[in-house]
Amino acid sequence: MQNSNLLAALTELALIQTQLAQMQNAVDQAIALLTREQPVPQLVADRFGLLYIDEEPRIVKVGNARVHLAPQEFDVLVIFAKQPNQPLTRATIGKRLGQSTKSANPYYVDTVVKKLRAKLGPAAEYIATQRGRGFIFRPPPPA
């Protein structure tokens, strides 16, 4: 009698372990879906109010004046322009710039954005800081 109870308990335990493994797999898949980075839309050339960005030849103009940006500054501007009106964390921007999250300088993105704003003149107001979250690119609505 004890052997049959023990066998039934072991069978039930094996079934529970299988169910737990299936649930863990489902949780892992859900986490992967939720944390997967969404595809970023392509930006070839576009105008945002005073700001003109052409990604291929890496040209930026404010009004009619060409603005010379460092490669990181241009890349950050394109990251913003591809996702206007969407908050972007410093970690997300750093990751898209190829920065490792483990060795990342926490002020790197802030420094690049500060330099970018300084060069954009009146168009700098399109880049807003969201305290505790990151940045958001808010260009004026199309005319």
Spatial CA neighbour of 77 closest among 140, 135, 143, 141: 135
Number of domains, the chain: 2
- Rounded Cα distance between 87 and 34, Å, is 17
Using CA atoms, how far residue 83 sits from 32, 35, 42, 124, in Å, is 22, 17, 10, 16
Q: Which domain holds residue 3?
A: 1-36
Kindly state whether residues 27 and 53 are assigned to the same domain.
no
Model confidence over 19-59: pLDDT tens digits? 877 888 777 776 666 666 555 556 667 888 999 999 888 99
Q: What percent of the chain has pLDDT over 90?
A: 46
- The verdict on residue 143 lying in a domain is no
Q: If you average pLDDT over residues 60-67, what whole number do you get?
A: 94
Kindly state whether residues 57 and 127 are assigned to the same domain.
yes
Average pLDDT, the chain: 84
Kindly state whether residues 102 and 74 are assigned to the same domain.
yes
Kindly state whether residues 9 and 72 are assigned to the same domain.
no
